Chains A and B, each alone.
Chain A
Amino acid sequence: MIPPFNSLEFAIVVAMFAVVTVLGFAATRWKRATSLASVEEWGLGGRRFGTAVTWFLLGGDLYTAYTFVAVPALLFGTGALGFFAVPYTIAVFPLVMFPAARMWSVCHEHGYATAADFVRGRYGSAMLALLVAITGIVATIPYIALQLTGIKAILEVMGIGGDWPLWIAFIALAAYTWTSGLRAPALIAFVKDILIYIVVLVAIIYIPYKLGGYNVIFDRAQTGLAASKMSILLTGPQYLGYSTLALGSALALFLYPHAVTGVLATRDRDVVKKNMSLLPAYSLMLGFIALLGYMAIAAHVKPVGGTAKAPNTTTIVPVLFNSQFPHWFAGIAFGAIAIGALVPAAIMGISAANTFARDIYRPYFRPRASDREEGLVGQIVSVILKLGAVGVIVGLKLSFAIELQLIGGVIVIQVLPPLVLGLYTRWYHRWALAAGWVVGMGLSIYMLYVTSSKTSAHFGSASFAFSTWGFNTKVTIWTGIIGVLANLLVATALTPLLARLPKGRDETSAADYEEAKAPPMPLGPGHAGGAA
């Protein structure tokens, strides 16, 4: 069933989109630098963002459209398991607080712009840096595609067929990130977050009020889920899956290039730490958004699109809004979700492009590339990535968009040993870390490959069932945890064995990771170099 086209909703969404596009271009002038033509300025906003901007930027970056669309869809489809997003976004902040601060300090000291820059400087290994760079880029692409599924869900619910609006949205996005760089999503994030807060506040008060209170919602959700043998509480075998999913996603989150970009774009180390205690405000919102999934069950929402066997559950939130809100407010809500997808997509495109320009193009293709040329390559790559993501999404059908993000997490967590351990110790040998990466990545991809879902035989889900290996149990675990444990094991075992091989030059010193004693030095135009 395709819902009727609603011109009021469509007009509101288009108007909001137009405002945001203008803002995106105007952002070029914001905190203006002499020239935007370098990775430093274009891709990190000149490293000048303070507490408030960072809060909006990281918030817009980490709590993306998937929050709005995919998390409730997961609760709608699987019950309590979907609520893992809440412990996940709680666990992440205490975990990353200190590593992120150390990362900021060392990157500031040496002018590193990406995680791979740091790895190259720390281990003197361009090869290991290449692995980190590729991992980051590959993991980011499904994440960008995930943002698109959010927009796509809205379009479907508004009764707009075809993919042309997606192309238009992303061409506009590509155009203003080209001119404004990281400043564009930072500025748009303000608008997006304020809109989303309003929509969520209204939704969590107004919808329960219409449906008869949270009591009714949970009761009906339980009844609805019981029909498909799910529950609003976890079952015993789900415990391990739930906590490893939350823990693993938390560990993976700040390994993504776009999260690193958000951290490195800040003005100083305290801004990073302060945000770790301010960002949880978004998690509270996320928790309530998640419950929209139950509200959808209670309101008897039917997903739009997909097939009878595999309905497109990502549409349930837009459908819920459409059925509960007056059209003008549903239009605003849809606009907010659409913008909410554009901000992270822009940041992700920029960070993946930074990584390509800095860690693949410069070391491997043009060692003598100027800052200007490096910046230009970044701009071009970011456009290619965005259009590529549209292509991916137009070509693929997905019932649980969130699995895309989980698979990205499984991949990106493999850079944890070189990156996070590297922030604390230089004990590990670079070749041992590379070997660990190969084993961990190989194992994870194999495990993902043999995991089937209702709709596909391979890459069905990031929850690995032990029964695949012949164990007689229903217990599942988040695939990335096994992969990263194998990775650590190999890296640890091989390090003593490889002690005779050259260790590579470490251009950082212990003091670089701590707070600067002297006032921070202004960053020159120079960059990290000196790769072995």
Chain B
Amino acid sequence: VLLLLLPLVAVLVPEFYNFADPSIGGMPFFYWWQLLWVGGVAVCTGIVYLATRSTR
């Protein structure tokens, strides 16, 4: 459950990421941080799925 909360906190509290620096390839932190969490959320929900799926 904590794994599911992590991405929520990471993207729903703009205080954490509303900065221009550091930028990657010209993309301000604000943007790549949120795009990075797309991957993050996939990993988190993926782990939870594997842990809770019915064994067949």
Task: Name A's B-contacting residues (CB within 8 A).
Answer: 80, 83, 86-87, 89-91, 93-95, 97, 213-218, 232-234, 238-239, 242-243, 246-247, 269-270, 273-274, 276-278, 280-281, 283-284, 287-288, 291, 515
Contacts and interface: CB of A to CB of B under 8 A. Distances in A.
Given A246-B12, A280-B42, A217 B54 contact: no
B4 A97 contact: yes
Contact of A280 (B30, B45, B53, B54): B45
A215 B48 CA distance: 37
Contact of B49 (A239, A277, A291): A277
Contacts of A91: 7-8, 11-12
A93 B30 contact: no
Nearest to A274: B49
Contacts, number: 114
Contact of A97 (B13, B18, B43, B45): B45
Q: Which 6 A-B pairs rank lowest in CB-CB distance, beginning with the nearest?
A: A215-B26, A214-B26, A87-B11, A94-B4, A277-B46, A277-B45
Contact of A277 (B13, B19, B42, B54): B42
Interface in B1-34: 4-5, 7-8, 11-15, 18-20, 23, 25-28, 30-31, 34
A283 B38 CA distance: 6
Contact of B34 (A87, A247, A276, A515): A87
A413 to B, nearest CB: 16
Contact of A269 (B7, B26, B54): B54
Given A94-B7, A232-B28, 8 more contacts: A86-B35, A90-B38, A90-B40, A91-B8, A232-B20, A233-B20, A239-B18, A270-B54
B54 A515 contact: yes
A83 B20 CA distance: 14
Contact of B38 (A215, A284, A291): A284
13 contacts: A90-B7, A90-B38, A90-B41, A94-B41, A97-B48, A218-B28, A234-B30, A238-B14, A243-B13, A246-B11, A274-B49, A277-B45, A277-B46
Given A218-B27, A233-B18, A278 B11 contact: no
A532 B15 CA distance: 49
A121 to B, nearest CB: 24
Contacts of B15: 239
A242 B14 contact: yes
B31 A83 contact: yes
Nearest to B52: A273
Given A97-B48, A274-B49, A234 B26 contact: no
Nearest to B35: A287
Contacts of B54: 269-270, 515
Contact of B19 (A94, A233, A239, A243): A233
A288 B31 CA distance: 10
B46 to A, nearest CB: 4
B7 to A, nearest CB: 6
Contacts of A280: 38-39, 41-42, 45
A284 B39 contact: yes
Contacts of B28: 218, 232-233
B53 to A, nearest CB: 5
Given A93-B45, A284-B39, A87 B12 contact: yes
A521 to B, nearest CB: 16
B46 A218 contact: no
A243 B16 CA distance: 12
Nearest to A88: B11
